[in-house]
Amino acid sequence: MENTLPVIYLLVLLALLSGAGFAVIRQVLKTRKIETALSQLERKLRNERGTVEEYYELGGIYADKKMFAQAIMLFQKALKASDVDEQNLAPVYNALGFAYFAQEQYDLAIRQYKEALKLSPDYVTALNNLGHVYERKKLTAQALDAYEQALKHEPNNTTAKRRAESLRKRLVTSA
């Protein structure tokens, strides 16, 4: 009995260290994959014109790295790419809106989200983002409308449900 307690302690410690080691290795591999994609896309786009998807992917990497000015430039290039097809531009406009939002350029963000919704009226992510930017601008009624539109297309959308409920309460208490 005396010898089992240290063994249990060591096994628990070993399990914790294994879990931490796994998490670190997984993060390193994920970062390496992103950095490889980043360098390949940058190299390719430096030498030739890219596709909408390539500019969008590189812009997304920059946005994830919080390099929003570079992301905006790449998303704008995606909108002007040679293979532009209106069908695949809604996510680009949404991402562009997100980058503007992150830089607190709310009016530009609204414009981009509306462009995304013009191309794809049932684009729930853009509706949620539009609601969020309206909230930041203290436009409660417009924000609630955006979230309610999102719920029409996706009734179980947790973000839209939570935000719409909060805004309804806010409207009731201010009335």
Q: What is the CATH number of domain 121-175?
A: 1.25.40.10
Claim: this prediction has a pTM higher than 0.85: no
| DSSP state for residue 48 in the 8-state scheme | S
**pLDDT value of residue 71:** 95
- Please choose, from the candidates 153, 116, 112, the residue with its C-alpha nearest in 3D space to the C-alpha of residue 133: 112
CB atoms within 10 A of CB 57: 16
Give me the residue spans of the domains in the chain. 1-35, 121-175
Q: Which residues contact 155 (CB under 8 A, 6 or more apart)?
A: none
Separation CA 109–CA 90 (nearest Å): 13
pLDDT tens digits, the chain, 175 residues: what are they?
567 888 888 888 888 988 888 898 898 888 788 778 777 878 777 777 788 888 999 999 999 999 999 999 999 999 988 777 766 799 999 999 999 999 999 999 999 999 999 999 999 999 999 999 999 999 999 999 999 999 999 999 999 999 999 998 887 777 6
Would you state the structure tokens that stand for residue 101, as one six-digit string? Answer: 């939002």
